[in-house]
């Protein structure tokens, strides 16, 4: 199938059939958002909506959740946005605890409208509304959907005019630019969402036109390829020094690992070289007090991406200066390290004895010469955030080209879904004889012995 997610953020007049469909969807999103913000959309008691609960998983959750958190200063007053993804009932129950059903609107985000986790959570949310006194015919006042399965969404009780389209040319991990981004528009306003799209389009144009020597996605992909193939690195850490980008590594994990975690070439042949890396990380400076020790003195070489926001994201300007100082000092420490001679001098200056210096100095040696990139973002606003996300999308695409694999499929994910349904059917039953002993034993311990 085609991968045309960049068409989701086109600017100007639509030029293609796909862009025309996108323009219609944007208008539908704008009208819907304005109806909620103006108070004209009412719940079953006639009260306006005050809470949005997005029910999705994977690409239908990670992107919108991350962006809504990143753009907190743009949140619309009087409206709160929540996200539910996990099939663990605690996720939904904890989210709904304390929410008034009369003021709550659910968005069910699932292309097929059959994704296990999303469907189960949506059914439970539906029952929650009914238990709160909402009639069957009034459910449409509390549910919207983003899906390509119009019939299933309507059978659930969602009005046709409140079902937003999904197309097979948009992969889940590239879908926040589509109607999957509806929670972003609701949380921050449609114009804010439009600025996010414009920023991504800025990066699309840069990627399409910049010379290779100045092309950011190409350079980042080549650096990653160099360390993965020639230095044998198995993971890359991503360190956004911005609290509001705390969910960025999780979004990037799906984008990168689901795209490049392949062992077969585009032509269907097994590959004999490493492909995708483990992507991980957290927001700075919290990571400095948990796992940075491994980066500085561990035995594995782990390239790092630092992301620094130039302008303060809060009125606490001095704390922002300390935040940037932490970011730069960490990249400097990875670069410079500390020699044995420097460690000895430091201990001697602190007044330690010769015996203590001899014993302690080797433990204070930091190898240095460890690679990192530092990306400086002018400010954390919708347009710059859109460009940052598109930068990593294009980097992953270039990585797929360099590796000779298809970054737009994810067949490994499908196997787990298939087996999950079979395991669920076997609960409380006698497991098939041809199943592996491990799964049979685990089923027995979890259910038969209960």
Catalytic residues: 258, 289, 417
Residues 6+ apart with CB under 8 A from 159: 140
| Helix and strand totals (H; E) in the chain | 16, 9
Q: Backbone phi, then psi, for 278, in 5-degree steps?
A: -75, 120
In the block, tokens 């669920």 appear at 424
**DSSP type of residue 71:** T
Closest CA to 254 of 6, 53, 66: 66
Beta strand 235-241 with 163-164 is unpaired
Residues 6+ apart with CB under 8 A from 42: 48, 49, 141
Question: What gap in Å lies between CA 292 and CA 135, rounded to an integer?
Answer: 54
Element (H, E) at 89: helix 89-96
| Positive or negative torsion for Cα 338, 340, 341, 344 | positive
Is residue 29 a contact partner of residue 183, using CB atoms and an 8 Å limit? no
- For residue 285, whether the previous peptide bond is cis, meaning omega lies within 30 degrees of 0, is yes
Question: What gap in Å lies between CA 345 and CA 322, rounded to an integer?
Answer: 27
Question: What gap in Å lies between CA 308 and CA 174, rounded to an integer?
Answer: 24
First-to-last alpha carbon distance for the chain, in angstroms, is 46
């Amino acid at each position: 199938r085609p991968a045309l997610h960049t068409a989701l953020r086109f600017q100007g007049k639509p030029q293609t059939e796909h862009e025309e469909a996108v323009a219609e969807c944007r208008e539908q999103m704008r009208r819907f958002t304005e109806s909620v913000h103006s108070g004209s959309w009412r719940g079953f008691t006639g009260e306006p909506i005050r809470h949005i609960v997005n029910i999705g998983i994977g690409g239908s959750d990670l992107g919108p959740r991350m962006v809504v958190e990143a753009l907190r200063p743009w949140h619309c007053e009087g409206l709160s946005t929540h996200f539910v993804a996990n099939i663990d009932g605690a996720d939904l129950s904890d989210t709904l605890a304390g929410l008034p059903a009369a003021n709550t609107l659910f968005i069910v985000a699932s292309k097929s409208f059959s994704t296990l986790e999303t469907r189960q959570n949506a059914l439970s949310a539906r029952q929650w509304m009914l238990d709160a006194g909402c009639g069957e015919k009034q459910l449409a006042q509390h549910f919207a959907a983003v899906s390509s399965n119009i019939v299933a969404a309507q059978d659930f009780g969602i009005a046709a005019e409140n079902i937003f389209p999904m197309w097979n040319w948009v992969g889940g991990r590239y879908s926040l630019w589509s109607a999957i981004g509806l929670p972003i528009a609701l949380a921050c306003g449609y114009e804010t969402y439009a600025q996010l799209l414009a920023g991504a389009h800025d990066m699309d144009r840069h990627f399409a036109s910049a010379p290779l020597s100045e092309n950011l996605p190409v350079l980042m992909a080549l650096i990653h390829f160099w360390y993965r193939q020639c230095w044998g690195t198995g993971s890359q850490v991503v360190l956004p020094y911005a609290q509001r980008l705390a969910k960025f590594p999780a979004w990037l994990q799906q984008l990168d690992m689901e795209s490049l975690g392949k062992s077969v070439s585009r032509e269907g042949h097994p590959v004999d070289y490493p492909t995708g890396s483990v992507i991980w990380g957290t927001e700075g400076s919290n990571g400095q007090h948990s796992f940075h020790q491994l980066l500085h003195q561990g035995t594995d070489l782990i390239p790092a991406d630092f992301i620094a926001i130039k302008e303060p994201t809060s009125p606490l300007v001095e704390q922002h200066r300390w935040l940037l100082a932490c970011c730069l000092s960490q990249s400097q420490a990875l670069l410079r390290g500390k020699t044995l001679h420097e460690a000895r001098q430091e201990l001697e200056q602190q007044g330690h004895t010769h015996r203590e210096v001899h014993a302690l100095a080797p433990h204070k040696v930091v190898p240095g010469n460890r690679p990192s990139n530092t990306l400086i973002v002018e400010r954390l606003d919708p347009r710059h955030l859109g460009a940052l996300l598109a930068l990593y999308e294009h980097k992953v695409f270039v990585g797929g080209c360099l590796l000779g694999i298809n970054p737009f499929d994810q067949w490994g994910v499908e196997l787990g879904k298939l087996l999950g349904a079979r395991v669920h059917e076997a609960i409380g039953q006698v497991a098939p004889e041809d199943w592996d002993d491990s799964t049979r034993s685990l089923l027995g311990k979890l259910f038969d012995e209960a």
